[in-house]
Structure 1
Amino acid sequence: MTQDNKIKFRKAEISDKEVIWEIIQQSIERRRIDGSSQWQNGYPNEQTIESDISKNFGFVLTVNDEIAVYVALIFNDEPAYSTIDGAWLTNGEFVVIHRVAVSENFAGQGLAKRLFDLIEDYVRSENVHSIKVDTNYDNAAMLKILNDKGYTYCGEVFLAGGVRKAFEKVLI
């Protein structure tokens, strides 16, 4: 990717839903091909994305105005996180990262890592200093990003019918 590409991070709009759903379906298939059980049981689905957008949870990273990455950011609300086999680093306000999906058109360009930088900037701008996230044990790509971005493994949570590895990063 050249420096000429203009990257933006913004809230998703309902007009983005079809493109986002296509990206989510690509990610579901990619996880299946990789042998992951994550996202193989009908979640997330089109209604999940519509709900994200209507609740202002949905965000997109665009490259030259084309949607490249989708993510849901949820402030202070993940019931599954109230019970953790382990311990969170903080107990205050937090943002949860859910449903990270990269378009096949942009795969392998480092945009998921860039997304995490932009999320940190956004969360700081909202005066929140904790980001929490979970992922499947077999989601090697996400586990690598969380490690590279300095997230701390905190334990296990039970979410979407399975045990997930839970991580937190405290923003200074």
Structure 2
Amino acid sequence: MPNASSRRFRHATMQDYPQMERIYAHARELMARNGNPTQWGNTFPRPEVVREDIANHRTILLVDTVGGHERILAQFAVCPGLDPTYGSIEGAWLDDDAYITIHRIASSGLVRHAARDCIEWTLKHYGNVRVDTHPNNKAMQHVLESCGFARCGLIQLIDRDEDLTRIAYQRHEW
């Protein structure tokens, strides 16, 4: 089994898209098996959003190389600028400073702690990070809280018609 030191991060390219779609399918199945069938359902993230993330250099991959072949261990979108979904919160953000949002994080399931590695990389590179997750996504809540994120309140998704409530988190490296 490769060690964590052989892991590295890089931007996704359209050549990665087919494997990324398989990882998102795996994540949807895993969430459903663990009591969270509605966060992504069968349709999220939408393929056009994933392709747009790649085209706009927002998708970051955690990869390693085994036997001369690169493997995607996890993937996530790092989205700069104001997130319209975060404009209204039942609760309060830690501050009004500029932030980066993590969206669409998914692990391939090949190694442990891949999502945590992605979150820690984002904190190291951007410092002020916001993220949200479904109330039923206990695994992600645990990862965020163990990474020092503060639970700030509840937000409502603006791009869906049902199952809108998400728990909002923020961590700001001062």
Alignment TM-score > 0.5, same fold: yes
Q: CA RMSD in A?
A: 1.5
**Paired letter, 1:105:** L
Cα distance in 2 for partners of 1:35, 1:155 equals 22
Q: 1:163 corresponds to which residue?
A: 165
Shift in Å at residue 33 of structure 1?
Answer: 1.4
Runs of at least 5 residues in structure 2 that lack an aligned partner in the other structure: none
Deviations along 1:27-67, one digit per CA (max 9) or x if unpaired, are 01111111212101522122221011011111100022311
Shift in Å at residue 23 of structure 1?
Answer: 0.2
Shift in Å at residue 105 of structure 1?
Answer: 2.6
Deviations along 1:118-170, one digit per CA (max 9) or x if unpaired, are 111221xxxxx310000000101100001100000111100144100000001
Identity %: 26
Q: 1:56 corresponds to which residue?
A: 57
**Paired letter, 1:163:** T
Q: 1:94 corresponds to which residue?
A: 99
**SS of residue in 1 equivalent to 2:39:** coil
Q: 2:129 corresponds to which residue?
A: 131
**SS of residue in 2 equivalent to 1:156:** strand
C-alpha contact (below 8 Å) 1:5/1:63 kept by paired residues: no
Cα distance in 1 for partners of 2:81, 2:53 equals 15
Q: Structure 1 residues 101, 78: CA separation in 2 closer, same or farther (over 3 Å shift)?
A: same
Following TM superposition, the consecutive aligned residue runs of length 4 or more in structure 1 with deviations greater than 2 angstroms are 1-5
C-alpha contact (below 8 Å) 1:12/1:59 kept by paired residues: yes
Deviations along 1:84-122, one digit per CA (max 9) or x if unpaired, are 11111111210001111000333xx11111221111122
Cα distance in 2 for partners of 1:113, 1:3 equals 15
Shift in Å at residue 5 of structure 1?
Answer: 5.6
Shift in Å at residue 77 of structure 1?
Answer: 3.1
Shift in Å at residue 4 of structure 1?
Answer: 7.3
TM-score between the two structures when normalised by the length of structure 2: 0.89
**SS of residue in 2 equivalent to 1:166:** strand
C-alpha contact (below 8 Å) 1:90/1:130 kept by paired residues: no
Cα distance in 2 for partners of 1:52, 1:32 equals 24
Q: 2:74 corresponds to which residue?
A: 69
C-alpha contact (below 8 Å) 2:28/2:42 kept by paired residues: no
TM-score between the two structures when normalised by the length of structure 1: 0.90
Q: When the two structures are aligned, how many residues end up with a matched partner?
A: 165
Q: 2:47 corresponds to which residue?
A: 46
Runs of at least 5 residues in structure 1 that lack an aligned partner in the other structure: 124-128
C-alpha contact (below 8 Å) 2:135/2:166 kept by paired residues: yes
Q: Does 1:79 align with 2:84?
A: yes
Cα distance in 2 for partners of 1:75, 1:93 equals 9
